[in-house]
Structure 1
């Protein structure tokens, strides 16, 4: 049963708020960078008088980011960026704290797009997007509204790809910060965050051992590197598949076996897709998989594993554990798909560790401040996060860890610049 709260939020049950607040308190205790920025924002009020709509995976860490933006003076609305990753208790706690929310767990496609549109009906001055969903609607269905947006930030590789296509075609209407491409995002969030959270989710969902199994990692970008590294650490034999010859050589020299997906399909016990592309496991791949093979996706959209091809080959489909669907093939083999092929670390887990997301969300908050401060003078392009913000976040992280590093002397700096 959904309900409308006093601030016109659309949530499932406001009574869940106390449990969600406990989750928020936990991540706040482990996100010192955002603590620091929240204190700054309360003094500076960089978003005073502005409205900000945020489309992200609505769990506790994201919830705290929304509260930090709110602390900077903004009126904030949130909606989910994945049908299965929203945590209803966190959403309820955000509404209790004065944030407008349009979200609940396990939405239909119709409800999902309704929530996106509601977040835009909020009439934001700036946005934080994940996968380009808000930007996509603004540029296809709400072009007049798009022209009024000051700018925003994008969280994922998939979103950056969509933004670059808009920029290349000359259609992008406002500046967007490519937060995903900042060093303090992809080197840590994409690699260590994805690497750990994928296997957290797989282990929690299946209750099976990873050691001794053969794992196929489909895609060797920064997320794929993290997934492969953690699989190896858990004792798995790791196969990497790639379309990029340079990344394939990199995987080979990192000690992994490299082959085509057509070959890997017959060998792996667990498949993890991390490409951002569609149909990377499809069609005949299912015909040669081992009995008991497990598939999951760590890319943004649920298009990497072709569920239609899989279902067409199945005699029966049933849920055998929460977030595990069993597809029984005509020849008696059983193949398993986790979390409906959606982003497994959030659809079947709690997402990246809080300390990792602390760096990413520090960049998000500071990048949004940069966009709002500079406005459309930035130009309607995809912008890199300024190097000084990247270094500021890195130094802040070192401070919270109690780590001191060397500083260049004037002579050394002069030598390097000579």
Structure 2
């Protein structure tokens, strides 16, 4: 097992974290109802769960419920910038083996995954499939030990289905993202609202009258586009799938390629689960002052390396807002390092 029972930024933040969790619990009656059942029946007695999730106040409510069911839980973050440090401290004080803090380096992030796996979990709970991928690449001895898992994101399910197609997925995993309650509500309404929440917290801009380019018209993209439209923005959708593009058109949005949209957008939001959706040739066409945000799980949808190569300087103007000055004097603004803006710059889904 890991040398330390937990690693968090500051355990003195625990009292603040308890209040945040209390607030989340007051808005999560269904999970609390399940907790009552779990406390009576102890269905997870003796089971060890390894979780790689965004360490937020809502996740804390889930972890408390798993513990109420008898489980032992080891938890790490599923993104280096999404941890709420006060919540992590509170969980640590409640006996959760939590390894997470905001602002982790890449090395620290993956070491925390190793810390969780050192507990030899029987069940995995993943967000983005980094925990499962690490088991398959570095800890194959656990494949016969883990009995099953869950994956809750579109991006993670894509990764796992690729493993399954190749015959390399070592144990069964439930694709939570396929549940109606996940994509119809959490993706559409949760991501739709929290993405704009993160952008507005980071930038304090007025959306009304702005041209917002949404890349991807899956359930997350639908929610983002609808809410941006509701706040008065002119929305352009970029979508490679012709049926989804037609749906967006009939929902009242303009449809363009990214090359066509690049010179028009004031704000660009990616939600595709793909790589390099916005890249060099698009940056070269953007107007001065354009803002770039990502709502996909990984920081690969906006090509930060291309942006760095085109720039002569970069500086942080305010928390989660980085200015890249291009050779011709234009300035582009990247939010939250290109990571998922709803958690890095806000608090995730309400």
TM-score (norm. length: structure 2): 0.98
RMSD: 1.1
- Equivalent of residue 350 in structure 1, options 335, 347, 350: 347
C-alpha displacement of 1:40: 0.7
1:357 matched residue in structure 2: none
1:153 matched residue in structure 2: 150
C-alpha displacement of 1:142: 0.8
- Equivalent of residue 114 in structure 1, options 111, 116, 120: 111
1:240 lines up with 2:223 in the alignment = no
2:323 matched residue in structure 1: 326
2:12 matched residue in structure 1: 15
- Equivalent of residue 53 in structure 2, options 34, 52, 56: 56
1:97 lines up with 2:94 in the alignment = yes
Which residues of structure 2 form unaligned runs of 5+?
Answer: none
| Alpha-carbon contact 1:54-1:66 (below 8 Å) kept | no
1:222-301 to structure 2, matched below 5 A, reads 222-301=219-298
- Equivalent of residue 129 in structure 1, options 98, 102, 126: 126
Q: Which moved more, 1:88-97 or 1:6-15?
A: 6-15
SS at match of 2:81: coil
Distance across 2 between alignment mates of 1:223 and 1:155 = 13
SS at match of 1:335: strand
C-alpha displacement of 1:173: 1.4
1:190 matched residue in structure 2: 187
SS at match of 1:86: coil
1:140 lines up with 2:149 in the alignment = no
Distance of aligned partners of 1:322 and 1:136 in 2 relative to their CA distance in 1, 3 Å threshold: same
| Alpha-carbon contact 1:295-1:336 (below 8 Å) kept | yes
Question: Any runs of at least 4 consecutive aligned residues in structure 1 with deviations exceeding 4 A, and if so which?
Answer: none
Which residues of structure 1 form unaligned runs of 5+?
Answer: 354-418
CA deviation profile, 1:22-74 (whole Å, cap 9, x unmatched)? 00000000100011011011111111011101111111001111111111100
1:341-380 to structure 2, matched below 5 A, reads 341-353=338-350
C-alpha displacement of 1:12: 1.6
TM-score (norm. length: structure 1): 0.82
- Equivalent of residue 40 in structure 1, options 37, 42, 65: 37
C-alpha displacement of 1:6: 10
Distance across 2 between alignment mates of 1:104 and 1:309 = 29
Query: Which protein has the bigger helix share?
Result: 1
